């Protein structure tokens, strides 16, 4: 329990990562976490350092006070000087290899080495088979971080097997009428579109679903991934639309080609009967869209990628084989035909999802920040070396986003 005051004894923190209106999962995560902290702890002074990709500019909100040019090492060093000069007490770093400049995102190390404050790093991607350079960068990030946050138990396991960090692993009502979906059985997938999302296999399942439930509709909510558009245009979305037309289900597959606002996302989740993540990458260890759906108390069908296997365990959802439209048809029809089963699944999802609600996450992060600050201060006072994964076991308490912690 936090006994050091409403802000955990902290006065000023900073967050570093992508931020909306940049369109990507980490940008949304940083914005949501930052907003939740400001809402729950209004006396806490916090601001964001946002990563800018090459040749892009964004109209950031007021909370973004520093911008870092991805490929400019000088920009990282200036950001470190700002953090030190403003007497920031904790830096919350969102890490993903691709958002930082340098080989394997190594530019971020210049900032981490230069700041004189504890760093709490959230690891959004942990590779099972990193290149030598990726491994070296991640090893240095873990060494320079006072605390680490992972999104799943599998991520924690990878840290142990790949990087030598050995932790203990100890969210309605419908809104169909307003969306023009009244009287329909609504299947939903949302997020940035890319070929590894497997949406075509849900479209392939629609003829069988419509034979049993002719009013069913599959809603695909989200813009195409900017990187995909830059390389291949809208070829993936065009393929999906052509596929639906060829199968005769175009009127039952609705594409909303835009980056959904939180209000839109909430409305579509409320309207959905079943949420589907048919992803093709089985090694995926996080999915913000799945976490949102589960936290909203939705019945979920998913392919068995690592994060889905963890979140949907114990009857919180249904797993189907990858690239298997027949299995999707079977499970969708089964859930739509069995309302008690679907409601029971939603109840289990909602119970689990309460631990993942942003106010809970914000409070957990603040507690982690406070502990990082206390440990860092004590270590500096004693002139001890920075914590290293090999020095002590870590503790990962039970919560929606498992946290990697150094001992109290």
pTM for the model: 0.66
CB 198 within 8 A of CB 303: yes
pLDDT of residue 8: 65
Q: Indicate whether 406 pLDDT > 60.
A: no
Q: Indicate whether 191 pLDDT > 80.
A: yes
**Top-tier CATH class for 12-170+357-404:** alpha beta
Q: Indicate whether 335 pLDDT > 90.
A: yes
Give pLDDT tens digits for 250-261. Answer: 999 999 998 887
By percentage, how much of the chain surpasses pLDDT 70?
88
Segment 44-55 shows an average pLDDT of 93
Q: Please list the residues that pair with 49 across neighbouring strands.
A: 16, 66
Segment 265-294 shows an average pLDDT of 89
pLDDT of residue 7: 66
> In whole angstroms, how far apart are CA 223 and each of 9, 23, 25, 52, 76?
41, 9, 12, 20, 30
Q: Nearest-CA neighbor of 176 among 272, 81, 86?
A: 272
pLDDT of residue 282: 92
pLDDT of residue 359: 74
What are the two backbone dihedrals, phi and then psi, of residue 246, each rounded to the nearest 5 degrees?
-60, -35
List CB contacts of 95: < 8 A, sequence separation 6 or more.
105, 108, 121, 122, 123, 124, 125, 141
Query: What's the maximum distance between 2 C-alpha atoms anywhere in the chain?
Result: 71
Spell out a b/e string for 150-166, using b for 16 or more CB atoms within 10 Å of the CB, else e: bbbbbbbbbbeebbebe
Give dist(CA 277, CA 290) in Å, integer: 7
Q: Nearest-CA neighbor of 293 among 317, 314, 310?
A: 317
Segment 86-105 shows an average pLDDT of 95
Give dist(CA 117, CA 92) in Å, integer: 11
Give dist(CA 203, CA 278) in Å, integer: 11
By percentage, how much of the chain surpasses pLDDT 90?
58
Count of alpha carbons within 13 angstroms of residue 89, beta-carbon side? 20
Give dist(CA 100, CA 97) in Å, integer: 6
Question: 185-356: what fold?
Answer: Rossmann fold (3.40.50)
80 or 339, greater pLDDT:
80
Q: Where in the chain is the domain with CATH 3.40.50.2000?
A: 12-170+357-404, 185-356
pLDDT of residue 387: 47
Using pLDDT thresholds of 50, 70 and 90, give the confidence band for residue 5: low
pLDDT of residue 266: 78
Using pLDDT thresholds of 50, 70 and 90, give the confidence band for residue 3: very low
pLDDT of residue 407: 32
How high is the mean pLDDT of the chain?
86
User: How far from chain centre, in Å, is Cα 114?
Assistant: 28
- In the DSSP assignment, the letter for residue 280 is S
Give pLDDT tens digits for 301-316. Answer: 999 999 999 999 999 9
């Amino acid at each position: 329990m936090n006994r050091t005051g409403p802000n955990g004894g902290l006065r000023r923190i900073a967050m570093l990562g992508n931020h909306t209106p940049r369109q990507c999962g980490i940008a949304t995560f940083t914005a949501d976490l930052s907003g939740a902290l400001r809402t729950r702890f209004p006396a806490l002074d916090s601001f964001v350092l946002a990563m800018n990709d090459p040749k892009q500019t964004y109209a950031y909100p007021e909370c973004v006070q520093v911008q870092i040019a991805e490929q400019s090492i000088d920009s990282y060093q200036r950001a470190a000087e700002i953090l030190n000069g403003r007497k920031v007490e904790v830096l919350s770093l969102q890490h993903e290899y691709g958002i930082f400049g340098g080989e394997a995102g190594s530019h971020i190390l210049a900032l981490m080495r230069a700041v004189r404050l504890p760093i709490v790093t959230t690891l959004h991607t942990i590779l099972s088979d990193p290149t030598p350079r990726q491994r070296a960068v991640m090893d240095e990030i873990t060494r320079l971080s006072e605390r680490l946050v992972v999104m799943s138990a599998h991520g924690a396991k990878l840290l142990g097997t790949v990087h030598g960090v050995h932790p203990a692993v100890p969210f309605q009502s419908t809104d169909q009428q307003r969306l023009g979906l009244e009287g329909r059985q609504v299947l939903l997938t949302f997020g940035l579109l890319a070929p590894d999302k497997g949406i075509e296999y849900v479209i392939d399942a629609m003829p069988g679903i419509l034979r049993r439930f002719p009013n069913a509709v599959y809603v695909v909510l989200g813009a195409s991934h900017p990187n995909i558009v830059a390389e291949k245009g809208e070829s993936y979305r065009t393929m999906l639309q052509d596929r639906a037309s060829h199968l005769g289900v175009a009127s039952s597959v609705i594409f909303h080609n835009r980056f959904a606002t939180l209000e839109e996302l909430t409305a579509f989740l409320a309207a959905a009967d079943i949420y589907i993540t048919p992803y093709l990458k089985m090694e995926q260890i996080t999915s913000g869209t799945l976490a949102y759906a589960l936290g909203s108390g939705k019945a979920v069908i998913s392919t068995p990628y690592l994060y889905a296997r963890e979140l949907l365990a114990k009857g919180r959802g249904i797993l189907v084989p990858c690239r298997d439209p027949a299995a999707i048809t079977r499970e969708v029809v089964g859930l739509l035909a069995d309302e008690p089963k679907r409601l029971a699944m939603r109840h289990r999802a909602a119970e689990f999802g309460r631990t993942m609600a942003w106010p809970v996450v914000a409070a957990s992060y603040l507690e982690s920040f406070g502990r990082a600050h206390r440990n860092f201060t004590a270590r500096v006072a004693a002139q001890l070396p920075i914590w290293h994964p090999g020095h002590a076991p870590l503790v990962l308490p039970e919560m929606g986003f498992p946290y990697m912690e150094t001992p109290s």
